[in-house]
């Protein structure tokens, strides 16, 4: 399945005992249409408030419904903030998480004095102008394979055995009109990593730190030297890439 969802009213993708989740809504819909209890496995978990335009997930099913029929059925019973954009049969060994070779995220910022009711759920609103060129210069220091300890971390702490080494293949700063978008592509990201990068680059754009400081923050491996975690609602999982 390729999925789109508005993460505003979800506690994240993953099932949670006392909170609404994307996984829970999908598994409920699958059961309603097929009468089968199935586990949905995503390419990656998204946190509370984070959106997706191209999340990928798989599940096993014994239904006789054709993929197009199953897709229509699921969309008929899913809530308005989740949709199945595409559904197809896959080889039995396909795994949405393990087979993914890269994920592309976008972090969107509304950069103007006035708020936007239509973008309030999907953009971080910053009133003062941001220096996109300085942010792009700083972003170049984060490309490649590094220990991103300075940009990881979340409420509740970080797992001691989590490997902080990741690779960022692309990190673009795209400015247009009253919006600024950070686009990050890599095989995998630490939890809150993209949001922590966004918060740090925004400080560069605000003139609170020079572009060269980002390389020093990365080398320090110290989360305390990086910027704040950007709000969840600006982040969207745009695409999951697989071998052709």
Task: Tell me the residue length of the chain.
Answer: 244
**Co-location of 79 and 142 in the same domain:** no
Distances (CA, A) of 38 to 34, 74, 111, 164, 236: 10, 13, 43, 32, 26
* Predicted pLDDT at 170: 98
Q: In the annotation, is 161 catalytic?
A: no
Give the CATH number of the domain where residue 18 resides: 3.30.70.580
**Co-location of 20 and 121 in the same domain:** no
What region does 118 belong to: left with phi over 0, alpha with psi -120 to 50, or beta?
alpha
* Mean pLDDT in residue range 7-17: 96
Give the SS3 label for residue 61. coil
Q: How many domains does the chain have?
A: 2
* Predicted pLDDT at 241: 98
Q: Which of 6, 9, 18, 47 is catalytic?
A: 47
Residue 95 lies in a domain: no
* Predicted pLDDT at 190: 94
Residue closest to 191 by CA, chosen among 26, 46, 30, 11: 46
What confidence tier does 203 reach under pLDDT thresholds 50, 70, 90?
very high
* Predicted pLDDT at 153: 82
What region does 5 belong to: left with phi over 0, alpha with psi -120 to 50, or beta?
beta
**Co-location of 181 and 128 in the same domain:** yes
**Co-location of 72 and 107 in the same domain:** no
Which residue range is the domain that position 155 belongs to? 102-241
pTM of the complete model: 0.95
Residue 201 lies in a domain: yes
For the segment 28-60, what is each residue's pLDDT rounded down to a tens digit? 999 999 999 999 999 999 999 999 999 999 999
**Co-location of 207 and 160 in the same domain:** yes
Residue 173 lies in a domain: yes
**Co-location of 140 and 225 in the same domain:** yes
């Amino acid at each position: 399945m390729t999925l789109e969802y508005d993460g505003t009213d979800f506690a994240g993708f993953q099932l949670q005992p006392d909170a609404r989740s994307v996984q829970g809504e999908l598994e409920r819909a699958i059961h309603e249409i097929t009468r089968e209890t199935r586990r949905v496995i995503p390419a990656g978990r998204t946190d509370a408030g984070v959106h997706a335009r191209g999340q990928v997930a798989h599940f096993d099913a014994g239904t006789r419904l054709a993929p197009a029929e199953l897709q229509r059925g699921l969309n008929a019973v899913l809530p308005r903030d989740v949709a199945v954009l595409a559904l197809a049969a896959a080889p039995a060994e396909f795994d949405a998480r393990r087979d993914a070779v890269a994920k592309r995220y976008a972090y969107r910022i509304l950069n103007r004095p006035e708020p936007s009711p239509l973008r309030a759920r999907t953009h971080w609103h910053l009133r003062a102008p941001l220096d996109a060129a300085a942010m792009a210069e700083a972003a170049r220091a984060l490309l490649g394979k590094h220990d991103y300890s300075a940009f990881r971390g979340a409420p509740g702490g970080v797992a001691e055995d989590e490997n902080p080494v990741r690779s960022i293949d692309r990190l673009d700063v795209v400015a247009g009109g009253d919006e600024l978008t950070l686009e990050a592509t890599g095989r995998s990201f630490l939890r809150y990593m993209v949001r922590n990068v966004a918060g740090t680059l925004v400080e560069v754009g605000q003139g609170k730190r020079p572009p060269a400081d980002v390389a020093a923050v990365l080398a320090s491996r110290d989360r305390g030297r990086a910027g704040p975690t950007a709000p969840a609602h600006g982040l969207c999982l745009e695409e999951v890439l697989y071998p052709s």
